[in-house]
Structure 1
Amino acid sequence: MRLLQITASNVWRGHEQQIVYYYDEFNDQIEHQVLLCTPNTRLSEIAAERNYNFQTLEFKSEYDLKWMKKINQIIKEEKIDVVLIHNSTAHTLCVLSSLIYGWKTPMVFFRTLIKKVDTNFFRKWKYNYKVLKKIVCVSEAVRTILLSAIKDHTRLSIVGSATDLSEFQKTQKTGILHRELGWDADTIIIGNIAAFVPFKDHITFVNTAEILASKLPNCKFVLIGKGELEQEIKDYVAQKGLTERFAFLGFRKDVPELFPEFDLFLFTSKLEPTGGVLLEANACKVPVVATRAGGIPEVIIENKTGLLCEKENASDFAEAVIKILSNPSLRNELVTNGYEHLKANFTKEVIAKQMLAELNAVIKS
């Protein structure tokens, strides 16, 4: 197999991490691969650090002729057998490049958003484009929302999120976060790692924190990530009088070191395709309270590997947090089950094998 992986994304989130997992796992299993991405991003940094076979191009629009030409050039020069597309704008660019230059190399689109795609003629058309042979969805929730737009449902399949157990090896506290933040050693840390965007619903996180602050005097809250709503959430925290209880750490490269410092991972996202960060919590043996929404129940088994709550219901979240923190045996049961569930279903090795099977099936067909 000679593979082109392509993304026009400028951010670093779970999907971009998944690209790294795929590249690493595929490297010894296929003949040749190339990554095309945008420059000056965390993904391009990793590609350079690990000596990937990669090329970069500034992204300006999904109708950028330079991108279309570059895609055609790579497909021809690298003799690509199949194109694995990782975001919607790259999907558009690939379809238009195929039309303009006439290449028929089969495409596979790895879809990770819960969002309708039949909102206009062009979007619906590009998802049914004849050279796009397969749409691999990260969860059943993503697949379900695509059904109305896709004519041939056999083109839809599911390959879940993944995490790297070799990266998330630390499962015990060392106190590094307490020391960094100057917090007492007995401080309970409740954390969240997510971009500050609307569907991650940091508002409900803060509302939950307000309830917990009145019941757990020694609990504090850590938010890791960046995004458009960061200042709005900081202002909301101040409005609630919780500034002294919150730490905003921005984007961090040392997440595997910080994760085990959390006493609990509170994930209030209300429209999550899968929640790959929940797998990282499982890997670090941190108990999880998350939303019963989107693809999250496909990752977290309710009352077995974590507790699930109704979206935007701060009281429900607070009750679940207290239930775990006040019951060590329940905590231990959840983290043990979560770790075993992860190993069986969501390691990068397991998931990459599933994606490789999808790509091989497309080439053979």
Structure 2
Amino acid sequence: MRLLQITASSVWRGHEQQIVYYYDAFDSKIEHQVLICPTETKLAEIAVSKNYNVHALPLKSEYSRRWIKKIIQVIKNEKIDLVLIHNSTAHTLCVIASLLSIKKTPLVFFRTLIKDIATNPLRKWKYNYKHLVKLICVSQAVIDVLGPSIKDHSRFTIVGSATNLDDFKRTSKSYKLHDELGLPRTTQLIANISAFVPFKDHYTFIKTVNILKDKLPNAKFLLIGTGKMEDEIKAFTKELGLENHILFLGFRNDISEIFADFDLFLFTSKLEPTGGVLLEAYASHVPIVATNAAGIPEVVNHNQTGLLCEKENPESFAEAVLTVLENKELKEKFIKNGFKHLKENFTKEVITEKMREELLKIHKNHS
């Protein structure tokens, strides 16, 4: 199999990390592969540092002629027989390139977003394009939203998120955060790591803290991340008088070093495709309280690897947090079962092999 992986994403998040996992894992297991990505991105930087067969070029438009020309050129010159697409803009560019090409190379789209496409006729057509032979979704929740707009459901399959256990070797407290924040080492840390965007539902996190502040006087609540709603959430925190209880730590490059310092991971997101950060909690031996919504129940088994709560229900979250923190046996059960669940289903090795097998099957059926 000769594979082209392509993304037009300029950010660095879980999906972009997964592209690196795939490229590294496939390198010795398939005949040939190429990566196309935007310049001046972390992905491009990593690709160059690792000597990937990469074509990095600037992207100014979803309909970039330069990108379309490059896609056609790479497919032809490097004899590509399967294209793995990693984001919506790349999907558009690949469909246009396919329309302009005589030889119709099979396209596969790895979809990781929960977003309805039914209101956009052009987008619906793009997802039903006949040479887009497979829609690999990161969870059943993604399929459930896309499903009504897709004519042929046999094109759906699932390959989940992955985490690298080598990146999360610390499974006991280092107290790095306690020392950095000037907190006694007995302080309980209850954390959330996510971008400040609407579906992450930081409002429910703040409301949960408001319920817990008097019940957990020895706790601090940490919000890690950045985003367009950060100032809005900080203002709401101040409005409720929670500035001394909730600490905003911004973007961190040391998540794997500090994760094990958390006593509990509180994840209030209400439209999560899978929640890759939940896998990092498992890896770091941190118990989870999360939302029973979207793709999260595909990662967290209620009362086995963590507790799931009704979305937008701070009372439910507060009760669950107290249940875990006050029951050492339950906490240890979640840590043990969560780590086992991760190793069996969501490690880099498990997921990359599952994707490779899926791509080989697609290649065999369309060659």
TM-score by length of 2: 0.97
Task: Please give the alpha-carbon distance, in whole angstroms, between the structure 1 residues aligned to 2:261 and 2:45.
Answer: 27
* Counterpart position of 1:43: 43
* Counterpart position of 1:123: 123
| Greater Cα offset, 186-195 or 34-43 | 34-43
Task: Please give the alpha-carbon distance, in whole angstroms, between the structure 2 residues aligned to 1:16 and 1:283.
Answer: 19
* Counterpart position of 2:233: 233
* Counterpart position of 1:204: 204
**What amino acid sits opposite 2:304 in the alignment?**
K
Work out whether residues 82 and 105 of structure 1, in 8 Å CA contact, stay in contact via their aligned partners in 2. Answer: yes
Aligned in 2, Cα 1:40/1:247: closer, same or farther, shift over 3 Å? Answer: farther
Task: Please give the alpha-carbon distance, in whole angstroms, between the structure 2 residues aligned to 1:326 and 1:117.
Answer: 44
Percent identity, please.
Answer: 62
Deviations 1:153-178 (A, max 9, x none): 11111111111111111101010011
* Counterpart position of 1:22: 22
* Counterpart position of 1:88: 88
Stretches of structure 2 that go unaligned for 5 or more consecutive residues are: none
Matched residue count: 365
**1:325 deviation in Å?**
0.6
RMSD of equivalent CA atoms: 1.2
Query: Aligned to 1:34, what secondary structure does the other structure show?
Result: strand
Deviations 1:86-105 (A, max 9, x none): 11111011001111233411
Query: Aligned to 2:363, what secondary structure does the other structure show?
Result: helix
* Counterpart position of 1:245: 245
Deviations 1:192-223 (A, max 9, x none): 11111110111111111111112111111222
**What amino acid sits opposite 2:83 in the alignment?**
V
* Counterpart position of 1:344: 344
Task: Please give the alpha-carbon distance, in whole angstroms, between the structure 2 residues aligned to 1:125 and 1:338.
Answer: 40
Work out whether residues 267 and 289 of structure 1, in 8 Å CA contact, stay in contact via their aligned partners in 2. Answer: yes
**What amino acid sits opposite 1:59 in the alignment?**
L
Task: Please give the alpha-carbon distance, in whole angstroms, between the structure 2 residues aligned to 1:218 and 1:351.
Answer: 39
Query: Aligned to 1:354, what secondary structure does the other structure show?
Result: helix
| Greater Cα offset, 243-252 or 178-187 | 243-252
Query: Aligned to 2:167, what secondary structure does the other structure show?
Result: coil
Q: Does 1:331 align with 2:331?
A: yes
Task: Please give the alpha-carbon distance, in whole angstroms, between the structure 1 residues aligned to 2:58 and 2:4.
Answer: 18
Stretches of structure 1 that go unaligned for 5 or more consecutive residues are: none
* Counterpart position of 2:182: 182
Query: Aligned to 1:166, what secondary structure does the other structure show?
Result: helix
Task: Please give the alpha-carbon distance, in whole angstroms, between the structure 1 residues aligned to 2:103 and 2:266.
Answer: 47
| Greater Cα offset, 218-227 or 257-266 | 218-227
Work out whether residues 187 and 220 of structure 2, in 8 Å CA contact, stay in contact via their aligned partners in 1. Answer: yes
| Greater Cα offset, 93-102 or 307-316 | 93-102
Work out whether residues 138 and 159 of structure 1, in 8 Å CA contact, stay in contact via their aligned partners in 2. Answer: yes
Work out whether residues 266 and 288 of structure 1, in 8 Å CA contact, stay in contact via their aligned partners in 2. Answer: yes
Deviations 1:233-276 (A, max 9, x none): 11211222122222222222211111111110000000011111
Query: Aligned to 2:166, what secondary structure does the other structure show?
Result: coil
Query: Aligned to 2:84, what secondary structure does the other structure show?
Result: strand
Query: Aligned to 1:46, what secondary structure does the other structure show?
Result: helix
Within 5 A, what are the aligned runs for 1:1-365?
A: 1-365=1-365
**1:150 deviation in Å?**
1.2
Task: Please give the alpha-carbon distance, in whole angstroms, between the structure 1 residues aligned to 2:298 and 2:279.
Answer: 11
Work out whether residues 106 and 133 of structure 2, in 8 Å CA contact, stay in contact via their aligned partners in 1. Answer: yes
Task: Please give the alpha-carbon distance, in whole angstroms, between the structure 1 residues aligned to 2:221 and 2:77.
Answer: 51
Aligned in 2, Cα 1:109/1:348: closer, same or farther, shift over 3 Å? Answer: same
Task: Please give the alpha-carbon distance, in whole angstroms, between the structure 1 residues aligned to 2:219 and 2:325.
Answer: 11
| Greater Cα offset, 304-313 or 219-228 | 219-228
Query: Aligned to 1:186, what secondary structure does the other structure show?
Result: coil
Work out whether residues 204 and 314 of structure 1, in 8 Å CA contact, stay in contact via their aligned partners in 2. Answer: yes
Work out whether residues 200 and 268 of structure 1, in 8 Å CA contact, stay in contact via their aligned partners in 2. Answer: yes
| Greater Cα offset, 52-61 or 271-280 | 52-61
| Greater Cα offset, 290-299 or 54-63 | 54-63
Query: Aligned to 1:342, what secondary structure does the other structure show?
Result: helix
Task: Please give the alpha-carbon distance, in whole angstroms, between the structure 2 residues aligned to 1:274 and 1:134.
Answer: 20
**What amino acid sits opposite 1:186 in the alignment?**
T
Work out whether residues 5 and 33 of structure 1, in 8 Å CA contact, stay in contact via their aligned partners in 2. Answer: yes
**1:45 deviation in Å?**
2.7
Work out whether residues 225 and 250 of structure 1, in 8 Å CA contact, stay in contact via their aligned partners in 2. Answer: yes
Task: Please give the alpha-carbon distance, in whole angstroms, between the structure 1 residues aligned to 2:102 and 2:261.
Answer: 53
Aligned in 2, Cα 1:195/1:106: closer, same or farther, shift over 3 Å? Answer: same
**1:66 deviation in Å?**
1.4
Task: Please give the alpha-carbon distance, in whole angstroms, between the structure 1 residues aligned to 2:59 and 2:232.
Answer: 28
| Greater Cα offset, 53-62 or 319-328 | 53-62
Aligned in 2, Cα 1:171/1:274: closer, same or farther, shift over 3 Å? Answer: same
Work out whether residues 264 and 289 of structure 2, in 8 Å CA contact, stay in contact via their aligned partners in 1. Answer: yes
